[in-house]
Amino acid sequence: MTSAAELLAGIAELAGAEPITRVTIPARLEYAYSPGTAQTRFLNALREKRLLAERCPQCTRVYVPPRGACPTCGIATSEQLELPHTGTVTTFCIVNIAAKGLDVEVPYCYAYVLIDGAHVGLHARIGDTPYAEVRIGQRVEAVWRDELGPSLASISHFRPTGEPDADPESYRRWM
């Protein structure tokens, strides 16, 4: 066990050290998981350009992607719904640093899109519009890739629909 005196001596020693302002640590994360029944249905539906969700029978929240159980109530979800390919930007950021393996020119916009009819959103890139024109409340629609697979990567990005912005009260609770 380290004594208080030893801790203070260590702090004093570090006080004279040159500060480290930046460290580059390469990281790569690959993992495999078993999606389970609810997410398997969701992933297979993406191959058909469909967004599946599940509703909690108790609190009635709609989750996309479905989880098989409501994270709030802790009970199984079994009612499946097909959601539209549209939603609302509830928050976003402009990315100025290129990511390895991502073939997208920087800067680009990444947003949290609240899918219509759902109570949670999807993280997605916003495209087909200048990033400076993206705004909270903006209505967007999914742009699907030509080659579909069992992955959210089947959705290339979301783009503005041209509809008027959503009323902030319609999504405030989910921000």
Average pLDDT over residues 83-89: 98
Q: Which of 32-36, 73-77, 148-152 has the lowest mean pLDDT?
A: 32-36
Q: Could you tell me if 64 and 80 are in contact, meaning their C-beta atoms sit under 8 angstroms apart?
A: no
Residue 25 counted as domain residue: no
22 assigned to some structural domain: no
Contact 36, 44 (CB under 8 A): no
In a domain, 12, yes or no: no
pLDDT digits (tens, 9 = 90+) for 8-30: 777 777 777 787 788 888 877 88
Domain total of the chain: 1
Of the pLDDT bands very low, low, confident and very high (cuts 50, 70, 90), residue 83 is very high
Task: Report which of 85, 84, 87, 89 is spatially closest to residue 138, judged by C-alpha positions.
Answer: 89
In a domain, 118, yes or no: yes
Q: What is the per-residue pLDDT across 93-129, written as a single tens digit (0 to 9) for each? A: 999 988 877 788 899 999 999 999 999 999 999 999 9
Mean per-residue pLDDT, 146-150: 96
**Residues 60-83: what's their mean pLDDT?**
96
In a domain, residue 31? The reply is: no
Q: What is the residue whose two structure tokens read 């912005």?
A: 165
Domain of 45 in residue numbering reads as 36-174
Q: Is residue 41 part of a domain?
A: yes
Q: Is residue 1 scored above 70 in pLDDT?
A: no
Residue 56 domain-assigned?
yes
* pLDDT value at residue 106: 92
pLDDT at residue number 5: 78
- Supply the pLDDT for residue 30: 82
Q: Is residue 156 part of a domain?
A: yes
Among the residue ranges 31-35, 57-61, 71-75, 121-125, the one predicted with the least confidence is 31-35
- Residue 87 confidence (pLDDT): 98
- The residues near 116 (Cβ < 8 Å, ≥ 6 apart) are 83, 84, 86, 87, 88
Cα distance between residue 121 and residue 134, in whole Å: 17
